[in-house]
Structure 1
Amino acid sequence: MTKERQAEPLATRPNIIYIMSDDHAIRALSAYNSDIAHLAPTPNIDRIAQNGARFDQSFVTNSLCGPSRAAMLTGKFGHKNGFNHNGQLFDGFQPTWPRLLKAHGYTTACIGKWHINLTPDGIDFDHWEVLNDQGEYYNPDFITAQGVKREHGYTTELITQKSLRWLEEQQQSDQPFALLLHHKAPHRNWMPAPQHMRAFEHTTFPVPDNYFDTYEGRAAAAMQTMTIYRDAQEGHDLKMTKGVGETEWREDIWPFLLARLTPEQRQAWDEAYQDRNDWFNANEATMTAEEIAIWKYQRYLQDYLATIKSVDESVGEVLDYLEANGLADNTIVVYTSDQGFYMGEHGWFDKRFMYEESFRAPLLIQYPNRIKPGTVVEHLVQNIDYAPTFLEYAGLDVPADIQGESMVPLLDGESPADWRQSLYYHFYEYPAMHDVTRHYGTRDSRYKLMHFYYDIDEWEFYDIEEDPTEMNNAINDPRYQHEIARLKAEIGKLEAKYDVPPREEWVNLPLEYEPAPTLEELFPESYQVACQ
């Protein structure tokens, strides 16, 4: 139902700063008290949880960058907003929370990674500067309505500088603002800033107990190609070189990213990694396969967590700016990621699966005028809930077709009797990179049921309380048949609630990629200049 309300005066409406990183695992935020928190803390991101709320049961609808972003913008599942997998075109002219805020007096901006189209057409931002597709860690191309410009520097820092500059410009306005500050980091290929390249050089991170998972009883997990020690590119992902004293990377199917570094940047990069790479190259022949696999795990985490250090610094700069300029109390600051990520669990990097590590996403929100410091929310929330929450805080009606629920009551400390008791998930992108087959499922406060389909037909069931690492597929366990039957029925109820198309329409549906204009076609003159 549409929530009717009297629009609040513009002067009293809260500002919104929506900070989203890419592929940030919950274990990589010290606010969640993970086992690596003391080794790689995130003190500035943690400030949001201390000042406001931490959500402990926050999930996505589809653990993939583009579909997750579309769900967050629209408050709808992919089958409703038209974006189920990467490579589709997102209809930016449909209702989204930034577009609705703009229509009701907000000044809006998006700075950083966009990644659901080349440009944010239809969203009607007052200002936008977005990275080209995935973006690059060094010397990135920024796209604006005027064209393409390559800028020198480290991308996380450039996004932060641009965002603070835009916030400073809003000081002269009496309109509330909404800023979408989107980082590329810590997305693959995890290239740290110069000052952080050696941050974890001497840190040994705990290896997950299931790092050498054999995937017994889990056919879909056995099919994937996202295992760190088998599938990560030794050059592109792990920055391994071809021999002692050499600087040329091993396998790298995207060499243009490293080629963006200036000679000075490349020299600093090579110097930072030389000793570690030389040690490995000198010892590789005598190392066991297990020792090499663990070495690769350590290299992956060292770089992944080092890129997050720059994100944490960025959040600190934004929070400091708000406090220094008297904006903190009436500004909603959100920190989240487009999904979770694997940090060696099951041997993996990447996301896609409905297993906890990629299904769960961090969510921290501060709003001093409304949210009590240190609030912890245990209710099941999903990224379709963001849009109605922002609209309610802004005093606007929530459109009736939004499928999410406003989290405002939860942030007020309430426990609504009619709050959802289960979640629906659906992953569509297969066959595609990493070979994670299509699946859908549901999760409640304790149990999870998934159905892998398309070229296999496999069900998986987990008691998350008894088996938190999801190693034992209990689909045939007699003890759980009642719960399995209940969750199968629950999937049917959720599909009806969210108006999921009949299964015969999507079970064998091929992936469809819609042709989109290239950057060179959109901005031929500035593109040529940027690429020189």
Structure 2
Amino acid sequence: MHKLILWGAMALVMVSCTKPKEQKPPNIVIIVSDDHTRQAVSAYGSTIAQTPNIDRIADEGVLLTNAYVTNSICGPSRAVLLTGKYSHKNGFRRNSDSKFESDQDQFVKHLQAAGYQTAWIGKYHLGKDPQGFDHYEILPGQGYYYNPDFIVKDSGRVNRTGYVSDLVEDAAENWLDRREDDKPFCLVIGHKATHRTWMPDLQDLDKYDEVTFPLPDNFYDDYEGRQAAMEQDMTVDKTMILGYDLKMYAEDTKDGNVSRLTPEQRAKFDAHYKPIHRELDSLNLSGKDLVEWKYQQYMRDYLATAESMDRNIGRTLDYLEAHGLDENTIVIYTSDQGFYLGEHGWFDKRFMYEESFSTPMMMKYPGVIQPGTKSDAMVMNLDIAPTMLDAANVEIPEGIQGESMLPVLTGEEKQGREVLYYHYYEVGEHNVSPHFGIKTDRYKLIRFYNQVVSWELFDLEEDPKEMHNVYGEEHYQKVQEEMKVKLLEAIKKYEDTEAEELFHEDISSTEIKRK
């Protein structure tokens, strides 16, 4: 009898150990900004900006210090996020002429099938027919900063008065208020900030007026040995427009953002920018003095535009806490790519150089990721889709090219990717040549084509600011050949047939060919 009781007790213990109480699927909130770079995030050590609310996500989870994108441009980056596939696989290579086929496989559709409620609020930039979402309220195209229109599912186009970051957050909270409480949810919040032309919330216009920003030490880069960099058209000096970009408007400006302002809003806007314009006229600047004035005004507008976004990310986090959702909700913050804040004399993105190729990324996952963690693992925006499916315990489709980050972030695996693969396709915009390449922990190899046909190789340990192209130098011959082998392996792994053909095209290691 005693033996029977003992065996019965042991059986109960075994059952309780092998079948733990089933956990609820985590809710998911993905916050995607536009052109917000790591240099402007204080969690990454920025000395020019404070982003306390974005930093909260890192403080409560993990800061990813080696996060990168597959294609540094707005729409294609969002397509990668949704599909977990490179641009040549999801079909959205370029903003200029690509169409996103929203009926293709996307991770949100698998979450829907698993019982998740899904929504996209804010900038979508992939057309007007999102699929995989129970609800959407998206900005048409790029959208406007002031008094923007939204395309609302089942309601059509509506206009709302206010500043875009506030309105996006309002819509996100309204959807959360209306959702079914007994189902998990996946919400994507797409902020317009900090996209060109950097229009701050009216309350933030004066935020950086008294700040003088240090010039990056390669602001006056001469691009020696880097032909593609030499031929770009994205400099603060020559490309940044005093009227369009820096609001030094003529009285009859037809700028779409400004013309949407109400008379009361316009009065506040003019009260800020008109005195600056008058001062500029009185200074009569030229040469480097004018270029550096433009840089200061650019930085003030860019960082002031980020203020409202950070404030509204704080609202998102506060909402989750106030409604008892924060302990079972994954929150990711990332940008669609990095951005240049004067490095190499530039603004914008596109290049595979670090400031554009890298992206801020942080994630909190209570009970799974230890708060205050920093991870140096190399990851990509390509990895967000499979990571969310993994977290939701939903099977990752075979066609997804990304890899779940959870094994690395939980310590199950010790390192992430060893090689990052990149391919930028757009032709003409800012005169940046299309290119593809790879990055390892130390080296970066890039193959430019179309306008400029050339190779570039960088030793990031010796040259972290990518000023010295060592391709063709005798000292780096072995590294060069090893990197080419790794590049071809990556091209084949991701089935990029266009890049494979270009890789094998015979061009001289010393002569740069221009088309």
Q: Same fold (TM over 0.5)?
A: yes
Residue 490 of structure 2: SS of its match in structure 1?
helix
Question: Equivalent residue for 2:343?
Answer: 345
1:315 is displaced (CA, Å) by 0.8
CA distance in 2, matches of 1:349, 1:210: 13
Cα distance change, pair 368–504 in 1 and its aligned pair in 2 (3 A): closer
**d(CA) in 2 for partners of 1:92 and 1:20?**
19
The answer on 1:141 being equivalent to 2:138 is: no
Offset, 1:499: 1.1
What SS does structure 2 have at the residue aligned with 1:91? coil
User: Within 2, Cα distance between the matches of 1:69 and 1:9?
Assistant: 36
CA-based RMSD: 1.8
1:31 paired residue number: 43
Equivalent pair of 1:22/1:339 in contact (CA under 8 Å):
yes
Q: 1:11–1:174: 8 Å Cα contact kept in structure 2? A: no
2:172 is the alignment partner of 1:175 = no
Contact 1:11 1:176 (C-alpha < 8 Å) held by counterparts: no
Structure 1 residue 131: Cα displacement:
0.2
Alignment check: 8 A CA contact 2:63 2:362 kept? yes
TM-superposed CA distance for 1:453, in Å, is 0.8
Confirm or deny: 8 A CA contact 1:10 1:176 kept in the other structure: no
1:413-492 equivalent positions in 2, closer than 5 A? 413-416=411-414, 419-430=416-427, 432-492=428-488
- Aligned residue number for residue 212 of structure 1: 220
- 1:240 counterpart residue number: 248
Q: TM-score, normalised by structure 1?
A: 0.88
| Structure 2 partner of 1:96 | 106
Check the 8 A contact 2:102/2:129 in 1, yes or no.
Answer: no
The one-character-per-residue Cα deviations of 1:139-179 (angstroms, maximum 9, x if unpaired) are: 11100232111111100100011111111223x52000010
Q: Select the residue among 316, 332, 335 that pairs with 1:334.
A: 332
Q: CA offsets, 1:387-412, max 9 Å, x none?
A: 11000000111111111110001221
CA distance in 1, matches of 2:129, 2:349: 25
Q: Which residue identity lines up with residue 451 of structure 2 in the other structure? A: D
Q: What residue ranges of structure 1 are gaps of 5+ in the alignment?
A: 1-7, 509-532
What is the SS of the residue equivalent to 1:323? helix
Give 1:506 deviation, angstroms: 7.1
- Find out whether 1:118 has 2:128 as its counterpart: yes
Q: Is there any run of 5+ residues in structure 2 with no aligned partner, and where?
A: 1-19, 505-515
Deviation of 1:507 after TM superposition, in Å, equals: 8.6
How far apart are the structure 2 equivalents of 1:457 and 1:27? 30
Q: TM-score by structure 2 length?
A: 0.91
Report how many aligned residue pairs link the two structures.
Answer: 483
- Matched with 1:272 is 272
2:331 maps to a residue whose letter is: V
Once the two structures are superposed, what CA deviation does each residue of 1:407-449 show, in whole Å capped at 9, x if it has no partner?
A: 00122134346x421111011101x221101111100001101
The yes-or-no answer on 1:106 pairing with 2:113 is no
- Spell out the pairing of 1:291-370 with structure 2 (5 A cutoff): 291-370=289-368
| Structure 1 stretch displaced more, 22-31 or 454-463 | 454-463
Contact 2:445 2:483 in 1 (8 A): yes
Give the AA of the match of 1:269: F
Q: Work out which of the residue numbers 59, 63, 67 in structure 2 matches 1:58.
A: 67
Where 1:482 maps in the other structure, the secondary structure is helix
Partner of 1:84: 93
Where 2:445 maps in the other structure, the secondary structure is strand
Equivalent residues of 1:188, 1:237 under 8 A apart: yes
The alpha carbon displacement at 1:478 in A equals 1.9
AA paired with 1:15?
Answer: N
Alignment partners' CA distance in 1, 2:313 and 2:411 = 25
- Post-superposition offset of 1:323: 1.1
1:340 is paired with a residue whose SS is coil
2:401 paired residue among 400, 403, 421: 403
Secondary structure of 1:329's match?
helix
**Does the CA contact (< 8 Å) of 2:123 and 2:141 recur in 1?**
yes
For the 8 Å contact 2:248–2:274, the answer to whether it is kept is no
Asked if structure 2 preserves the Cα contact closer than 8 Å seen for 1:11 and 1:175, the reply is no
Which residue in 1 is equivalent to 2:3?
A: none
Q: Distance in 2 between matches of 1:111 and 1:10?
A: 31
Decide which of 196, 201, 204 is 1:196's aligned counterpart. Answer: 204
CA contact (8 A) 1:10 1:175 kept: no
**Post-superposition CA distance 1:4-36 (Å, at most 9, x none):** xxxx99970000000000001100000000232
Is this contact kept in 1: 2:418–2:441, CA < 8 A?
A: yes
Sequence identity percentage: 47
Q: 1:148 to 1:10 in 2, by over 3 A?
A: farther
Return the match for 2:174 from 165, 171, 176: 165
Equivalent residue letter for 1:259 = S
Pairwise CA distance, 1:248: 5.1
| Distance change in 2, residues 1:69/1:10 (3 Å) | farther
Query: Alpha-carbon deviation of 1:206?
Result: 1.2
Corresponding position of 1:263: 263
**Alignment partner of 2:482: what SS?**
helix
Q: What secondary structure is seen at the aligned counterpart in 2 of 1:148? A: strand
Report the residue type matching 2:174 in the other structure.
R
d(CA) in 2 for partners of 1:140, 1:498: 39
Q: Which amino acid aligns with 1:30?
A: S
Aligned to 1:498: 494
Residues 1:462 and 1:11: Cα distance change in structure 2 (over 3 Å): same
